[in-house]
A and B are shown apart, each in its own frame.
Chain A
Amino acid sequence: MKKTLLYIFLISLTVYACKKDDDVPAIDPDAQVFTLQVPRGFPYPSVPADNRPTNYRVRLGKQLFNDPILSRDSTISCASCHKENMKFTDGLPFSEGIAGRHAARNSPSILNIAYQPYLFWDGGNPTVEQQVLGPIGNPNEMDFDANLVVERLKRNPDYVFKFMQAYGKEPSVYTLTRAIANYERTLFTGTSKYDRYMYDHDSTALNASEKNGMTLFFNEIGDCFHCHVDYNFTDYSFQNNGLYVNYPDSGRARITLKASDVGKFKVPTLRNVELTAPYMHDGSMATLEQVIDHYASGGQAHPNKSNVVRPRPLTAQDKTDLVNFLKALTDL
């Protein structure tokens, strides 16, 4: 009996050794997990264990992001409303969906999306992966069904090959959402004049007006920093900033159903804000000057309005300086 066991052991060894000799895996650099290139001064974001970045995944995600195959009539891609040359926004108050329809809210930039604790203006979606389903299924955006997108992808040998390369699996809603999220997590912003001043310690990076704007931004006079804070200029909280007395869009309350959340929206990043007009969840303000005037006025009365939004004695020069500082948040 002991001998038999020994034989089994020896045979297994032989078989194992043979196998090893035959398929020594060629190291494919595009399949290797790589480290995200995070802007200096930024922490490393948390990345789901099942969706670490590789070149195959990022490339596939980018192709899908730019492919109108995601929409019912194959006219709209993610890039239609998140244009790379517009800092991944589209310049419209409300983005255009298929057949001339309009999304209900302003298209936010997806730069630095890796840090978002939840997605959408009302925070109703918990992960970058699941977020992918939102615009695909929204009747005013792509008006489609992720399962039908997958059927299209499966009929495309090029895509099937690339999904196998990226995830070792054929196209599915799981791999579709992973791939797009994988690409989106590589999109960072953090190379502005402000970063040069702040993280590279280059005191000449900002001029006098921008520096005064920065002081107002971070002190109790301008008071912007209560919500627009840290490396991404947001604390991701939900705030009512006094835009309206009656909100046609209930914002966060749509998710929580709480009256105390009516008119609250997720605080957006201010990076590249100069290039991402119009502003607010509904794109109702066309210029940064209008935005500063709004906050200086204290906004409309609303029971949920943030305490920080109240009238502020800013001079014309202060306002100009604040706008100049905001423009110093544009990537160089």
Chain B
Amino acid sequence: MKKNIYYFILILVTITTVSSCKKDTETPASTEETLSFHLHRNVGTADGIYDSLYQTASGRKFNITDYRFYISNIVLIKGDGSLYPLTGKVILAGPSAMEYELQKVPVGNYKGFTFMMGLDSITNHSDPTTFGAGSPLAVQTPSIHWDWNSGYIFFKVEGKVDTTAAANGSADFDYLYHIGMDDLKRTIDFSTNAFSVVSGSPHELHIEFDLLEALSNVDMRTENMTHTMDNFPLATKIADNWQAAWSAE
């Protein structure tokens, strides 16, 4: 038995030696650096904060109680024009964070990037119960999945709005924009927003989304409800505004 202990120590020593050897050979040459989105969910020029009061361009008061959307299929365009997809990365932009770490990417110059607002059809129809609780696609994420057509809500904005004709009342009428379904995913183009990733300094891509722009041609007094399938024209109108609602900060 005593001998066994010696052997055990011997093993430990061996393992330690081997792993320290490994360490030596892996001195970082750092050809990759962390890339993140610094992302603002704005209402006009202000941050979108739940229960704050905002105004549409025409002066109509409204608040927001939910303001979240999915970003996926992020593709970087390298300096030589080749594409560098960040496969599998999904972000649910919401009130808890502005920083969304993407992954380590090769250092160098990039011509720009694109991403999908919404989810590709395979991800959209995957089983939400199979994702870990920390995943933005997990069934634990509150109220962002439909089970009647088994898909995710790509863009979810809710709150209350003043629906008086003269827009001089208070924001007390429920409005609801739930945009989903494969047809309404949209590719957002930042392909001319060049950036460089340099070794030793994590890079942030500063982007912002303006809800007022996304609702620019929507009359919140009358057009105040869509679950997509029950008001597809309104859902399409909003999805078609997404590109214009994005800008680089």
Contacts and interface: CB of A to CB of B under 8 A. Distances in A.
Given A133-B147, A138-B148, A11 B4 contact: yes
Contact of A134 (B10, B11, B147, B229): B147
A130 interface: yes
Contact of B14 (A4, A124, A130, A254): A4
A149 to B, nearest CB: 11
B129 A173 contact: yes
Contacts of B93: none
Contacts of B14: 4, 8
B183 interface: yes
* Residues of A in contact with B, size category: 20 to 34
B147 A137 contact: yes
Nearest to A15: B4
A181 B8 CA distance: 48
Interface residues of B, number: 21
Contact of B10 (A7, A124, A147, A177): A7
B127 interface: yes
B147 A130 contact: yes
Interface in B165-209: 181, 183
A174 B125 CA distance: 16
Contacts of A7: 7, 10-11
B139 A146 contact: yes
Contacts of B31: none
A14 B183 CA distance: 61
Contacts of A129: 127, 129
A122 B148 CA distance: 9
Interface string B5-16: 001101100100
B150 interface: yes
B23 to A, nearest CB: 20
A74 B78 CA distance: 56
B150 A124 contact: yes
Contacts of B129: 129-130, 133, 146, 172-174, 177
B20 interface: no
Interface string B124-166: 0101111000000001100000011110000000000000000
A257 interface: yes
B50 interface: no
Interface in A136-189: 137-138, 146-147, 172-174, 177
B84 interface: no
A203 to B, nearest CB: 45
B149 A254 contact: yes
Contact of A257 (B128, B139, B229): B229
A257 B183 contact: yes
B150 A130 contact: yes
A255 interface: yes
Interface in A242-287: 254-255, 257
A126 interface: yes
A120 interface: yes
Nearest to A1: B14
A101 B46 CA distance: 42
B7 A124 contact: no
B139 A124 contact: no
Nearest to B232: A257
Given A177-B129, A257-B181, A257-B229, A126 B150 contact: yes
B179 to A, nearest CB: 13
7 contacts: A8-B10, A126-B125, A147-B140, A173-B129, A173-B139, A255-B149, A257-B232
3 interchain residue pairs of minimum CB distance: A124-B149, A133-B147, A174-B129
Interface of A: 4, 7-8, 11, 14, 120, 122, 124-127, 129-131, 133-134, 137-138, 146-147, 172-174, 177, 254-255, 257
Interface of B: 4, 7-8, 10-11, 14, 125, 127-130, 139-140, 147-150, 181, 183, 229, 232
